[in-house]
Amino acid sequence: MRVAGARTCRLGFNSADRTFWHGPTDYIPYRDTANAFPDTLRSIIAERGVTDLVCYGSKRPVHAAALAVASETGLTPHVFEEGYLRPYWITYERGGANADSLATKYTLNEMSATIATGAHAMLEAPDRWGDMRAHMFWGAAYHARLLAGNRGYPGFRPHRTPD
């Protein structure tokens, strides 16, 4: 996105987010509680002139809260699906993915009519989509950083932690 001329920033919620984001001026550490997040996000949007919000998934509590703020403030939401079981394919939608997809609002007839007006041919997925060792390495490195501690992020709670 930066190569295309967009200004970007990342809101990080833990030490691994910080470790794996390069660019000291566009990283914003979030250290407060989940309850304070919507107000903090509203402030960041106003201060930085944010126009779009990008999330990886829409069901994690922090993403659901961010998407609600995006809706309320008029930001354009971009959601990528966490498609772990479908390597090579990435699902992207504005507003939500999976059960939150805008496609769930259309009838089959409406979908068929839209597809008939110019859907692009789907490319066949390659037999091999990437180096699994690299995927495993970077996933393990991220989680090892989390296990090493989150000093400086007292409000961090993993999304799979029960309340």
User: Cα–Cα distance between 71 and 38 in angstroms, integer?
Assistant: 12
Q: For residues 67 and 77, is the Cβ–Cβ distance under 8 A? A: yes
State percent of the chain over pLDDT 70: 84
Q: With 70 as the cut, is the pLDDT of residue 153 above it? A: yes
Amino acid at 52: D
More confident residue, 99 or 144: 144
Task: Read off the pTM.
Answer: 0.75
Segment 32-43, tens digit of pLDDT: 998 999 999 999
DSSP-derived pairing of the beta strands 92-94 and 76-80? antiparallel
Segment 82-133, tens digit of pLDDT: 665 556 667 777 777 766 777 777 888 888 887 788 766 666 766 666 677 8
